[in-house]
Structure 1
Amino acid sequence: MQLAICSHFLKGFFMAMAKPSKTTPQPQALPSLRRQPSQARAQQTMQTLFKAAAQILDKEGEAGLTTNKVAAAAGFSIGTLYQYFPSKEVLVRAMAAKGQDMVLQALEQYLAALELRPDVAQMDPQDFLRQAMKILLQGFATGKGFSQSLIRLGWLMEQPQETASVVRQVADRLAIFFERINHPALKSPSPAQLFVLSRSVIGTLRSASLEKSPLLGSAALEDALVQVAWALLARPGQAGLALGARPIR
């Protein structure tokens, strides 16, 4: 059964070749909710349930996370919880989708700010590649806003099409960024290079999270991811530079 699930995920995860679009990444629809929150009160209810679930998960682990415990910790009846989330799985997937949206928003804000800088072509590209990696690391593995245990559970319950959509949005936004800044040390990556880069990075973070790798949060993992990006994106004559070396002008 586990092999079938993994096979199904890998098929969906590596299927689509990224085609750069000119649009900003859009928030995901929350998966399979019985009620889509539209009012401030409903949004607040969901946030309270999310917070309660995260606290239980951190204290008791996956085995201790139940809808009854979440409802009680949040101060709601189980009926109120079921108005939004028909099962624990849907609750976790909704939390994971929220976390992924936070990652996309953080990446968008960072890249958009760089695009507006008049001196971006003079900046060290390894610096902003590293910062982009930090955003992805925190969002998909080490945790920022959501804990590592929640991120891991989200990966365990993922839907391949949802993961593929997030990865494509990351690849699309990076394509727009590199085209706009036209940095002398970086080339505009091809669709194939963006496909390899985005799937390599997020696939690595997924594996590190699921395996509870001791590399999570380490400088070694961050350096390795930056090296992968640099090898794919640097113009000829630049790729051989060590991390921290100044690009050749």
Structure 2
Amino acid sequence: MRKEPRQARSRATVESIVQAGARILSDGGWAGFTTNKVADLAGVSIGSLYQYFPDKLSLVDAIRRRHLDDCLAVVRKFRAEGLSPVEFATSLVRDMIAAHSAYPGLHRVLLDEAPGSEDYRNPNSEFEIEYLDYYAEAVATYRKRAPNAKDRTAALIVSDAIDGVIHNAARRGALRDPAVQDELIRLVSLYLSDPGEPVGA
């Protein structure tokens, strides 16, 4: 961003711009995404938009960051401790799908069409560290131990399974299909229920 909004009114303006940008990307794709369209839908002048975002790439980065923040908000709500694997998987999958459903076409555009920054692909970003730590903690909880290297590998598997199913469902327009949700819950809960012993051990 060109500058950080400090007053409530400025924060509301930025929020309107980011939400409008997400809507236009979702509905019209990268080809239909312009700062003029975003400003018009947000109800602000193009000059106001450029106060915060120097170009549409910086706006796309802000939309991506908002999506990652939404995903972190989901994982911060639920801890595995005290929940059965099915209860945990149900809460997590349900809310993660909801976070992707506000603008169902957005994720296809972000994944397949819009240019991305290197920060978004950084496997050692703050987002990736917190996100994978969360899944490692959940795996270790059901294996009744402190997280270890095997649990961190398992965290990659279960997080990639959730992200992959949800992102591909978004691509196919199937996010609201209850069967997708049910089967993903079943997959995650069965995986978490497994004690993690190697095959053939």
Query: Which TM-score tier does this pair reach, normalised by the shorter chain?
Result: 0.7 to 0.9
Q: What TM-score results when the alignment is normalised by the length of structure 2? A: 0.75
- 1:156-171 equivalences under 5 Å are 156=112, 157=114, 158-159=116-117, 161-162=119-120, 164=123, 165=125, 166-171=127-132
Structure-2 change in CA distance of 1:230 and 1:48 (3 Å): closer
Measured on the aligned residues, the alpha-carbon RMSD in Å equals 3.1
What residue identity is the alignment partner of 2:91? Answer: Q
Number of the residue aligned with 1:136: 96
Q: Which secondary structure state, in structure 2, belongs to the residue aligned with residue 232 of structure 1?
A: helix
Cα shift readout 1:178-203 (whole Å, capped 9, x = no counterpart): 54xx4589996621111111122213
CA contact (8 A) 2:16 2:42 kept: yes
Are 1:224 and 2:192 an aligned pair?
no
Match of residue 167, structure 2, among 206, 214, 218: 206
Q: Among residues 46, 70, 80, which one is paired with 2:38 in the alignment?
A: 70
- Aligned-partner Cα distance in 2 for 1:233–1:51: 35
- 1:155 equivalent to 2:111? Answer yes
3-state SS of paired residue (1:148): coil
Contact 1:49–1:74 (Cα < 8 Å) also in 2:
yes
Instruction: Using structure 1 for the length normalisation, give the TM-score.
Output: 0.62
In structure 2, the partner of 1:79 is 47
How big is the shift at 1:37? 2.5
Identity of aligned residues (%): 29
- Which of 39, 57, 73 is the matching residue for 2:7? 39
3-state SS of 2:172 partner: coil
- Displacement of 1:231 after TM fit? 3.7
Of structures 1 and 2, the one with the larger relative CO (CA 8 A, separation 6+) is: 1
* Alignment CA distance shift 1:234-1:86 (3 Å): same
The offset of 1:207, in angstroms, is 3.0
Equivalent residues of 1:185, 1:234 under 8 A apart: no
Unaligned runs of 5+ in 1: 1-32, 238-249
1:124 equivalent in alignment to 2:92? no
Checking the alignment, whether the CA contact within 8 Å between 1:133 and 1:225 is kept in structure 2 is yes
Which runs of 5 or more residues in structure 2 are unaligned? 197-201
How far 1:101 sits from its partner (Å)?
0.6
CA distance in 2, matches of 1:162, 1:55: 20
Q: Is this contact kept in 2: 1:56–1:65, CA < 8 A?
A: yes
User: What is the aligned partner in structure 2 of residue 91 from structure 1?
Assistant: 59
Q: Would you tell me which structure has more helix in proportion to its own residues?
A: 2
Q: Does 1:105 align with 2:57?
A: no
Q: Would you say the 8 A contact 1:197–1:228 is kept in 2?
A: no
With over 3 angstroms needed to count, the CA separation of the structure-2 counterparts of 1:67 and 1:95, relative to structure 1, is same
The residue that corresponds to 1:193 in the other structure is 154
> In structure 2, what is the Cα distance between the partners aligned to 1:206 and 1:159?
19
CA distance in 2, matches of 1:126, 1:137: 16
Structure 2 partner of 1:244? none
